[in-house]
Amino acid sequence: MIKTTNIFTALVCLLLVTSLSVLGQKGKVNQEKKITGPGKCLIKSDSLLTNELTKEDLIKWVENPPFIVNCEDSKTYKLKFYEFTILKLKPFENKSFGVGDDRMIPILGRKAIDDLKEGDTVILKGVDLIEDGTDKTTKAPTISIKIIEKKP
């Protein structure tokens, strides 16, 4: 009877140690996955920092490279590479136009901007940024630009 109790106690201890070890490893994996970067970025249009633009302001921004954004880390960046996507509400459509760079957005994406209406969104995914004044590149989260109506 004592031998069975000792074996049972040893198995419980082994299970407890194994469980704690696995939980400790999961914590380390989650910490390693954290991406440090500039944080949320906003479009710099004239003197305005926003993620909501009129169609006319968006056209001005895309026709005057380099494309400048300001991020939560209070630094200014230029877009280097990104996937250019448009999400339309009426009719609901999500369409990718390919990869843009620091000099221009994809040509078909530029043409699609002319058809945007209020509530539609331009999405820049997989964004690589260049820190202004340096050659240092960094990754940024997805940047979305919502189209709003012209204010009177």
Claim to verify: residue 26 and residue 52 sit in the same structural domain: no
pLDDT number for residue 45: 75
Claim to verify: residue 55 and residue 25 sit in the same structural domain: no
Tell whether pTM > 0.85.
no
Claim to verify: residue 30 and residue 61 sit in the same structural domain: no
| Non-local CB neighbours of 75 within 8 Å, separated by 6+ positions | 38, 131, 132
Claim to verify: residue 53 and residue 120 sit in the same structural domain: yes
Q: What are phi and psi of 137, to 5 degrees?
A: -105, 155
Residue type, 47: S
Per-residue pLDDT tens, the chain, 152 aa: give them. 666 666 666 555 555 555 555 555 555 444 444 446 788 999 987 777 889 999 999 999 999 999 999 999 889 999 999 999 999 999 999 999 999 999 999 999 999 999 999 999 999 999 999 998 888 999 999 999 999 997 66
**Domain boundaries, position 133:** 41-147
Please say whether the beta carbons of 44 and 136 come within 8 A. no
pLDDT number for residue 12: 54
Claim to verify: residue 17 and residue 87 sit in the same structural domain: no
Domain count, the chain: 2
pLDDT number for residue 99: 96
Structure tokens at 126: 């997989």
Q: What are phi and psi of 83, to 5 degrees?
A: -95, 125
Residue 98 CB-half CA count within 13 A: 10
SS3 assignment, position 25: helix
pLDDT number for residue 81: 95
Q: What distance in Å separates the CA atoms of residue 21 and residue 5, rounded to the nearest whole number? A: 24
Claim to verify: residue 47 and residue 24 sit in the same structural domain: no
Q: Is residue 45 part of a domain?
A: yes
Q: What distance in Å separates the CA atoms of residue 65 and residue 88, rounded to the nearest whole number? A: 24
Claim to verify: residue 49 and residue 122 sit in the same structural domain: yes
